[in-house]
Amino acid sequence: MTGFVTFVSAGPGDPDLLTVKAVKALGRADAILFDDLSSGPILALAKPGADLVGVGKRAGRASPKQDHVSRLLVDYALTGVHVVRLKSGDSGIFGRLEEELTAVRAAGIACEIIPGVTSASAAAAAAGIPLTRRTHAQRVQFITAADTTGNLPPGLNLPALADPQATTVIYMGKRTFPALAEALIAHGLPPDTPALLAEAVSTPEQVLHRSTVAELARTLEEERSPLPGLILVGNLAAGA
């Protein structure tokens, strides 16, 4: 008898931003495999006796390999239990969800996905700004600025990313932002385009830093905090 896997999107960290469906799944699970950024108070919603297994990956730290995480997820489910895979933000946005889905389905295990609040939406809300504006930001684009090696991914559509009329949200980009900013400016993005660095969004450690693309690139070249963060670029990042 095989178990069941629920992929739960934990949101950016504040338990109050979980969906009702996510809370119910956490309370039913026999085992929870969680990311670093979805640990802490969210795990208090687990039922007594549930196995809590940390499988998170963080830049610059020793982390489990993805194939190990997928194998562990399958192994738990094959014992017949209900497993929650607790993933940070929205699991379908730069969360390597597809690889884990593929492993689970290949093993014949039933599963479901519970969507959640992505860090981009939470950062914009914390900063008091929308992600779109009818006349000046009619498009939103999400990118990751780190490939599997931690470097700037090749093949980025730089002309699209340099569009000053779009809101660009950059995940996992603090280390590579100086190089990305240089490339965007070379493709026509004004250096004084507003940029917002949002760190530890929705947690007590939250920090919001408004700047420009050029200024933020210089800042991150010199110093980076260990807090998880993402960067919003575009006219709306300047705030009201």
Q: Which pairing describes strands 194-199 and 229-233: parallel, antiparallel, or unpaired?
A: antiparallel
Determine whether 57 is an active site residue.
yes
Catalytic residue among 35, 90, 163, 174: 35
Rg (CA), the chain: 19
Catalytic residue among 21, 24, 36, 57: 57
Quick one: which of 93, 238, 233 has its CA closest to 161? Answer: 233
Q: CA–CA separation, 125 vs 131, rounded Å? A: 9
Q: CA–CA separation, 38 vs 136, rounded Å? A: 34
CA dihedral 135, 137, 140, 146 (to 10 degrees): 160
Q: CA–CA separation, 47 vs 238, rounded Å? A: 43
CA quadruple 174, 17, 129, 156: dihedral sign: positive
Q: Kindly state the DSSP code that residue 133 receives in the 8-state scheme.
A: B
What tokens were used for 131? 């992600």
Catalytic residue among 14, 30, 163, 172: 172
Q: CA–CA separation, 64 vs 164, rounded Å? A: 38
CB of 36 closer than 8 Å to CB of 58: yes
Determine whether 174 is an active site residue.
no
Q: CA–CA separation, 64 vs 44, rounded Å? A: 23
CB of 7 closer than 8 Å to CB of 113: yes
Give the active site residues. Answer: 35, 57, 172
